[in-house]
Chain A
Amino acid sequence: MRLELRGITKRFGSLVANDAIDLVVEPGEIHALLGENGAGKSTLMNVLYGFYDPDAGQILIDDKVVDFDGPGDAMAAGIGMVHQHFMLIPVFTVAENVVLGHEPTGVAGVIDVAKARAQVKEISDRFGFHIDPDALIEDLPVGAQQRVEIIKALSRRAEVLILDEPTAVLTPQETDELIAIMRQLKEAGTSIVFITHKLREVRAVADQITVIRRGAVVGTVAPTTSERELASMMVGRSVELGVVKDAATPGEVSFSVRDLTVIDAAGVRQVDGVTFDVARGEIFAIAGVQGNGQTELTETILGLTRPTSGSITLDGEELVGRSVKEVLRAGVGYVPEDRSTDGLVSAFSVAENLILDRYDQEPFARGLALDPVRVRSSAVERAQEFDVRTGSVDDLASTLSGGNQQKVVLAREMSRPLRLLLASQPTRGLDVGSIEFVHRRIVAERDVGTPVLIVSTELDEVLGLADRIAVMYRGRIIGTVDAHTHRDVLGLMMAGVPHDEAVAQAAAHQTVLGQADRAVETSSEEDA
């Protein structure tokens, strides 16, 4: 099946998300759509999937113009999509999710469960997925959920499969498996549109790469194009691929976690005997696949969750048992992993968001009364210092871009003397410019001697930012390693393989991404 997009334009209010985009996907081709966060990749694919109506432009399948009145039509035309945020219903079984929308039914519309199960089993076996049709989605790990999504698309006989940022939640080894699946599909004649902002992956797997910037196509290139070149196409200027920082000069240990265990209401050990130290002036990163206890760990440090046992000390003071307010007052700066849910009140102004955790303190309040003049003047200063681009500090936080929202959170958390900076996924969903800004700020905070604890699922970020790395798996720290550890080793540790074994396995089998790493290292050595 040949797919063509002609002059697709999509506007949201005054924002032009897609500006006259042309794209051709040949049969049996893996076509990468590369662009940074907010470039308009997902919007384009949602147009193709019939989810959004384009304001202009045409979709052609095998040179015939088609018109999709919803995803149902797109699926009928042979287009399948695996969304970045999985479109699975957590309380349904795998089989129910797979057949939803095209259910095999018997008498009076009662679902033929056996048939549904067989459908799942057939595809699962064909690709070696090992998926139990009767498992509830909420009980499956993310990797398995992704495979359910692929089964879902294939069960509808998709000839073009759109994968939206499929590697965001995977370890390098899982990414390898996914790449193998993609090649297998390609062999079977399925075309794949692979959406990503990660340069290495596209070069490893794509036949063609189309780069998008600010809603418009910059160009279509071959996968032999260098990473540096792709990066500058994507961002529109030359960019540093790594984080620029000096070697750390760690001081004494000032933040310690000892034997921390958190058992949730359902009786699951979310955090299991975690111990680590962070010294002044170092960035300590916790890597791991999403959902291995990192969220619970940070929430416990902040005081949102009570640990079952263990201790957390900052400069010798015990933090366990203190309220969130007391922990913040003790000098902890906290950047939550989900800024729109936990970091900001989107219906509040920028100024109000900047005092969200200090609204009841001098100089913003006297007794019960707020001082709106001081709140505002302080906000103007902060916004300037942190380069928050907003018309006025009275604008609602919801009107800001993701990058500027994150700057507001940083400005709030870093504008008081800190004794610990704790940042979760500090650059998730940001554009490259904002990522650079956030990383610079974090390094600067380290350089004034603050201990910094970063939690990130993004291996690139961990490798670029950290001075030391701990890997978390199923609530436990599986090992603590230095910042020069190879990507493949970290990837295996993220899948639960202990360090020594991981080193051995990684030497025996290099992943595609790991090879790319080595290549970069050699080339930069040659440069030097």
Chain B
Amino acid sequence: MTAGKVSYRAPIAYAAIGLLSLIGFGLIPPSGRHTTFAISTPKDLFTIEPFTVPSKSTAIVFSLVALALAALAFWAARKRIRLGVWLPSVFGLCVLLAFLTWSAADKANSMPVTGLLQGSLFLAVPLVFGSLAGVLCEHSGIIDIAIEGQLLAGAFLAAVVATMSHNPYAGLIAAPIAGALVGLLLVLFAVKYRVDQIIVGVVLNVLVVGVTSYLFSTVLTAHRETWNTPPKLPVLEIPFLSRIPVLGPVLFRQTIIVYLMFAVVIVLQVMLFRSRWGLRMRAVGEHPKAADTVGIKVNRTRLRNTVLGGAIAGLGGAFFTVAAGLAFGKEMTGGKGFIALAAMILGRWSPKGALLAALLFGFADNLQVVLGIIGTPVPSQLMLMTPYLATIFAVAGLVGRNRPPASEGIPYVK
């Protein structure tokens, strides 16, 4: 065999998690309890009745399947076979189902599966836009730590413009402008003054928090009616499609920002890897000098794409105000920009991956809310930690090798 050391890190982690799941959700809890899952919503074409399963045995079954997958991972690592993303995905799903079965055991409320997914998608919106901004910036060679600031700026301007114009769509158009401005500052300092991009990003976040909080405390609070009562984006139901059980409410009973999100992901996925624009951008992020020698203007490319990235993150910021139907509040993005950054890494710098990772984080976020409602045994603070813990596991390499664009963060000097 022509091979080096085999890494068993991932299989060991799978096995450990599977065992914990088996013991914690299956073996320790008392038997005789039942869990109910609710599927349908009132407007569906046909109704799927809520169904009830015995908690203990269901959790044990899911945990055992997870353990079997762990064994498969061991075998594959030994034989040096790559299994693809389906393994961690199915594994995660099994552990999750075991957990859900356990957490909703013998509760008065059933586990609202469709609601859980619907909310997850909704909460993933800013994460998706934010991580797409990161994808664009980093592929052109600029590290975007300022996603948080771009989201916040977008949320702010969307609220103000929507309130002033009494039109949520006007807010939606204004939000990208705010994000683009933050992107412009980022790229200006990074390219023109060659300041460390992480420093600029961190500081821009503080600057945006400062400016928006200041204006919030003064102008927005003093005249709330004229400045900060944004109308909410209406839900646009797609005829027929929206009435398909589970899928309908999740995918087709959303506001325009969700549909926009899918459109942007698809367009970027295609354009980034197949178009002239994408090829040139990635060339600049990988090997700027090589790009320069074939006549591509490196810094102009970085400028354009960072500003565009900022605009996309800004659009995501509109989620917090006009899409959620909330007034702007101080620091209302609450660190979502950083989770978006993590989603970008977890999604390995591709729009598709960013979408999936963001959905995962959105799910974790919404799960905590749902479990709070049905009353789980897990303290909410610990639930709230999970996305962050998951990110650490992800970047520590359990998910596989990460390869960022080779020249990100390095100013281009001839």
Give complex CA distance A73, B295 in Å: 7
Cβ A100 vs Cβ B279 within 8 A: yes
Give complex CA distance A300, B123 in Å: 50
Chain A residues, CB < 8 A from B3: 263, 267
Residue B414 is within 8 A (CB to CB) of chain A in the complex: yes
Given A52-B414, A100-B283: A109 and B276 interface contact (C-beta under 8 Å): yes
* Binary flags per residue of A59-85, CB closer than 8 Å to B gives 1, else 0: 000000000001111011000010100
Give complex CA distance A176, B297 in Å: 36
Residue from A49, A81, A111 within 8 A of B279 (CB atoms): A111
Of B148-156, B285-293, B332-340, the one with at least 4 CB within 8 A of chain A: B285-293
Chain B 292-306 residues near chain A, CB threshold 8 A: 292-297
* Binary flags per residue of A134-174, CB closer than 8 Å to B gives 1, else 0: 00000000000000000010000000000000000000000
Residue from B275, B280, B406 within 8 A of A100 (CB atoms): B280
Cβ A111 vs Cβ B290 within 8 A: no
Cβ B286 vs Cβ A72 within 8 A: no
Cβ B290 vs Cβ A88 within 8 A: yes
Chain A residues, CB < 8 A from B280: 100-101
Chain A residues, CB < 8 A from B275: 105, 108-111
* Binary flags per residue of B390-414, CB closer than 8 Å to A gives 1, else 0: 0000000000000000100000001
Chain B residues, CB < 8 A from A87: 287, 289-290, 293-294
* Binary flags per residue of A438-474, CB closer than 8 Å to B gives 1, else 0: 0000000000000000000000000000000000000
The minimal Cβ–Cβ distance linking B186 to chain A, given in whole angstroms, is 24
Given A52-B414, A100-B279, A109-B271: A83 and B293 interface contact (C-beta under 8 Å): yes
Specify the chain A residue showing the minimal Cβ separation from B3. A267
Residue B223 is within 8 A (CB to CB) of chain A in the complex: no
Chain B 1-28 residues near chain A, CB threshold 8 A: 2-4
The minimal Cβ–Cβ distance linking A402 to chain B, given in whole angstroms, is 19
Give the residue among A81, A87, A100, A102 with the most B Cβ atoms within 10 A.
A100
Cβ B295 vs Cβ A72 within 8 A: yes
Chain A residues, CB < 8 A from B406: 90-91
Residue B82 is within 8 A (CB to CB) of chain A in the complex: no
Give complex CA distance A460, B54 in Å: 80
The minimal Cβ–Cβ distance linking B402 to chain A, given in whole angstroms, is 14
Chain A residues, CB < 8 A from B290: 87-89, 100
Residue B277 is within 8 A (CB to CB) of chain A in the complex: yes
Residue from B2, B271, B287, B414 within 8 A of A267 (CB atoms): B2
Cβ A101 vs Cβ B296 within 8 A: yes
Given A91-B286, A100-B294: A308 and B279 interface contact (C-beta under 8 Å): no
Residue B79 is within 8 A (CB to CB) of chain A in the complex: no
Cβ B287 vs Cβ A90 within 8 A: yes
The minimal Cβ–Cβ distance linking B69 to chain A, given in whole angstroms, is 24
The minimal Cβ–Cβ distance linking B80 to chain A, given in whole angstroms, is 7
The minimal Cβ–Cβ distance linking A338 to chain B, given in whole angstroms, is 17
The minimal Cβ–Cβ distance linking A264 to chain B, given in whole angstroms, is 6
The minimal Cβ–Cβ distance linking A12 to chain B, given in whole angstroms, is 11
Chain A residues, CB < 8 A from B274: 110-111
Give complex CA distance A100, B2 in Å: 36
Chain A residues, CB < 8 A from B295: 70-73, 75-76, 101-102
Residue from B276, B282, B297 within 8 A of A70 (CB atoms): B297
Cβ A89 vs Cβ B287 within 8 A: yes
Specify the chain A residue showing the minimal Cβ separation from B284. A89
Specify the chain B residue showing the minimal Cβ separation from A74. B295
Give complex CA distance A264, B2 in Å: 10
Chain A residues, CB < 8 A from B270: 110
Chain B residues, CB < 8 A from A73: 295
Chain A residues, CB < 8 A from B277: 109
Specify the chain A residue showing the minimal Cβ separation from B6. A267
Residue A265 is within 8 A (CB to CB) of chain B in the complex: yes
Given A89-B286, A91-B286: A111 and B294 interface contact (C-beta under 8 Å): no
Between A and B, how many residue pairs show CB distances below 8 Å? 91
Residue from B4, B276, B283, B294 within 8 A of A308 (CB atoms): B4
Chain B 246-287 residues near chain A, CB threshold 8 A: 270-271, 274-277, 279-280, 282-283, 286-287
Specify the chain B residue showing the minimal Cβ separation from A308. B4
The minimal Cβ–Cβ distance linking A215 to chain B, given in whole angstroms, is 18
Give complex CA distance A75, B3 in Å: 45
Residue A51 is within 8 A (CB to CB) of chain B in the complex: yes
Chain A 191-218 residues near chain B, CB threshold 8 A: none
Give complex CA distance A269, B3 in Å: 8
Specify the chain B residue showing the minimal Cβ separation from A105. B276
Chain B residues, CB < 8 A from A264: 4
Residue A103 is within 8 A (CB to CB) of chain B in the complex: yes
Give complex CA distance A294, B142 in Å: 35
The minimal Cβ–Cβ distance linking A6 to chain B, given in whole angstroms, is 23
Chain A residues, CB < 8 A from B289: 87
Give complex CA distance A89, B275 in Å: 16
The minimal Cβ–Cβ distance linking B302 to chain A, given in whole angstroms, is 15
The minimal Cβ–Cβ distance linking B279 to chain A, given in whole angstroms, is 6
Chain B residues, CB < 8 A from A91: 286, 406
The minimal Cβ–Cβ distance linking A134 to chain B, given in whole angstroms, is 15
Chain B residues, CB < 8 A from A265: 4
Residue A92 is within 8 A (CB to CB) of chain B in the complex: yes
Residue A96 is within 8 A (CB to CB) of chain B in the complex: yes
Give complex CA distance A101, B275 in Å: 12
Chain B residues, CB < 8 A from A89: 282-283, 286-287, 290-291
Give the residue among B80, B287, B289, B292 with the most A Cβ atoms within 10 A.
B287
Chain A residues, CB < 8 A from B279: 92, 96, 100, 103, 111
Chain A residues, CB < 8 A from B297: 70
Cβ B276 vs Cβ A103 within 8 A: yes
Given A51-B293, A100-B294: A111 and B4 interface contact (C-beta under 8 Å): no
Cβ A70 vs Cβ B283 within 8 A: no
The minimal Cβ–Cβ distance linking A117 to chain B, given in whole angstroms, is 14
Give complex CA distance A91, B414 in Å: 22
Chain B residues, CB < 8 A from A108: 271, 275
Chain B residues, CB < 8 A from A90: 286-287, 406
Give complex CA distance A101, B4 in Å: 40
Give the residue among B80, B279, B286, B414 with the most A Cβ atoms within 10 A.
B279
Give complex CA distance A96, B290 in Å: 12
Give complex CA distance A75, B80 in Å: 47
Specify the chain A residue showing the minimal Cβ separation from B297. A70
Chain B residues, CB < 8 A from A83: 293
The minimal Cβ–Cβ distance linking B283 to chain A, given in whole angstroms, is 6
Give the residue among B2, B286, B290 with the most A Cβ atoms within 10 A.
B290
Chain B residues, CB < 8 A from A70: 292, 295, 297
Cβ B2 vs Cβ A269 within 8 A: yes
The minimal Cβ–Cβ distance linking A33 to chain B, given in whole angstroms, is 18
The minimal Cβ–Cβ distance linking A149 to chain B, given in whole angstroms, is 10
Residue from A71, A92, A111, A269 within 8 A of B293 (CB atoms): A71
Give complex CA distance A226, B125 in Å: 73
Give complex CA distance A264, B406 in Å: 20
Chain A 213-228 residues near chain B, CB threshold 8 A: none
The minimal Cβ–Cβ distance linking A65 to chain B, given in whole angstroms, is 20
Give the residue among B280, B295, B406 with the most A Cβ atoms within 10 A.
B295
Give complex CA distance A167, B93 in Å: 56
Complex A-B: 26 CB contacts under 8 Å:
A51-B292, A70-B292, A71-B292, A71-B293, A72-B295, A76-B295, A87-B289, A87-B290, A91-B406, A92-B282, A92-B283, A100-B279, A100-B283, A100-B291, A100-B296, A101-B296, A102-B295, A108-B275, A109-B275, A109-B276, A109-B277, A110-B270, A263-B4, A267-B3, A267-B4, A269-B2
The 7 lowest CB-CB distance pairs between A and B, nearest first, are A72-B295, A101-B294, A87-B290, A263-B4, A267-B3, A109-B275, A103-B276
Instruction: Known pairs A76-B295, A83-B293; list 14 more (Cβ under 8 Å).
Output: A52-B414, A71-B293, A88-B290, A89-B290, A92-B279, A100-B294, A108-B271, A109-B275, A110-B274, A111-B274, A111-B276, A111-B279, A263-B3, A268-B2
